[in-house]
Amino acid sequence: MNIFFDLFYILKGKFSKKKSHEYKFAFLVHSRGYKDIYRKYPKLKLIPKTIVIFIMNHLWPITLSKVTGIYSIKTKEHVKGYVLGIPMTSQEMMSNRDSSLTKIRQALYLARGKGVTIVGLGGLTSSLSAGGKSLLDIDMHVTTGHAYTAYNVTQNLFKLVEIFEMSKEQVRVAVVGAAGSVGSLSVLLIARAGFGSITLIDLKRKDLSELETRVRNMRPDMTVFISHEVKDIKSCNFVITATNTPDALITKELVEDGMVIIDDAQPSDIHPDVLKLENVLVIEAGVVDTPGVKSNFNYGLKSKTDNFCCMTELLILASHGWDKHYIIERATLEHVDEISKMGDDLGFKIASFQNFLESISQQKIEHVKSIIKKNAIHS
């Protein structure tokens, strides 16, 4: 019955310009795959998949949960928020881009109909709306989450390098999806931090020359490689994945013992077989510990107060009473420095190491650390 109320709010948001005086926010997600759909609607397992696809592709955006535990920095009052969902899977969204954009726009109408003033674009909704540019005619504020995501991706890298007692000059980092919004910003943060070597990997149609120039200007002594082949991660000991492909790019044939993969893609860029390898460490990078804040929706994360980075950027803005767009299309290093400071003020930090298969044990970390040390001796 609630989904029909959502249809009412979509129509209200589309045709009514009335704004709420109470600050609210909404985070927009979509189904990463069928597991997400069945987690929300278990009875759909009894229906043939073709029918499930048809239903999900034709169902309008819906309200998934209410977010609790976020408070205004200024007034200390509770700030209300929602998680809104597009039922389509990642695969279906990438295959039906026009329909996906229509659903994203409907989700903004749903948010506006519920009194929301700022929306965070999660998963593929950012790339499928041109980083929010295709939504600017709708009277809503938008953020993509790219700044806080890039910050947390690289914070995971920095922390792991410290745990493994490696110097930055020893580390060979590859960024898969380097031309993208999160990937390119992560590259600049890695360069700024003083790492010695980086490999930029993306599709042939993606121009990496401007990013390469920026890195070389920032760090003339840094070794920079350009590649259009994912297999070139083999020459690196740390890999960051940040693509918007719905398929797993990193298979077990491409990884080496002692490799550390920091995965930011939603859906994941990592094949499930890689997570089962004892000698490889896979970290889900885009997860933040947000003490006291609950999305009240099962993302499949370790803790109820863990949230994805792109949502956390929205939480930070909501807490600080942000009343305009934050990130449209591309974020800058200045955005990263600003939003990370705002997040620190709220006590937010990178979550404990995990991936969608397991919580990473100290034993697993020490095992991979020992392999890295052996590799360093024999290199």
Q: For position 89, what pLDDT does the model report?
A: 84
Q: For position 18, what pLDDT does the model report?
A: 66
pTM more than 0.85: yes
Rounded CA-CA distance 239/233 in Å is 7
For residue 376, name the pLDDT band (cuts at 50, 70, 90): confident
For residue 77, name the pLDDT band (cuts at 50, 70, 90): very high
Nearest alpha carbon to residue 106 among 80, 88, 123, 90: 88
Q: For position 126, what pLDDT does the model report?
A: 93
For residue 301, name the pLDDT band (cuts at 50, 70, 90): confident
Q: For position 194, what pLDDT does the model report?
A: 95
Over the stretch 240-299, which tens digit does the pLDDT of each residue have? 999 988 778 999 999 999 999 999 987 788 999 999 999 999 999 989 999 999 998 877
For residue 236, name the pLDDT band (cuts at 50, 70, 90): very high
| Section 26-36 average pLDDT | 84
Nearest alpha carbon to residue 120 among 101, 104, 144: 144
Over the stretch 85-134, which tens digit does the pLDDT of each residue have? 998 888 888 888 999 999 999 999 999 999 999 999 998 899 999 999 99
Rounded CA-CA distance 340/175 in Å is 21
- pLDDT at position 341 over 70: yes
Could you give the percent of the chain with pLDDT greater than 90? Answer: 74
For residue 300, name the pLDDT band (cuts at 50, 70, 90): confident
Tokens found for residue 263: 């995965």
- pLDDT at position 21 over 80: no
193 by DSSP, 3-state: which?
A: helix
369 by DSSP, 3-state: which?
A: helix
Q: For position 378, what pLDDT does the model report?
A: 61
Other C-beta atoms within 10 Å of 158: how many? 16
Over the stretch 310-339, which tens digit does the pLDDT of each residue have? 999 999 999 999 989 999 989 999 999 999
Among 27-31, 40-44, 219-223, the minimum mean pLDDT is found in 40-44
Of 373 and 107, more confident: 107
N-terminal to C-terminal alpha carbon distance within the chain = 63
* β-sheet bridge partners, residue 67: 81
For residue 22, name the pLDDT band (cuts at 50, 70, 90): low
Helices (H), 178-308: 181-193, 209-218, 272-275
| Section 157-175 average pLDDT | 95
Rounded CA-CA distance 153/312 in Å is 13
| Section 200-207 average pLDDT | 94
Average pLDDT, the chain: 91
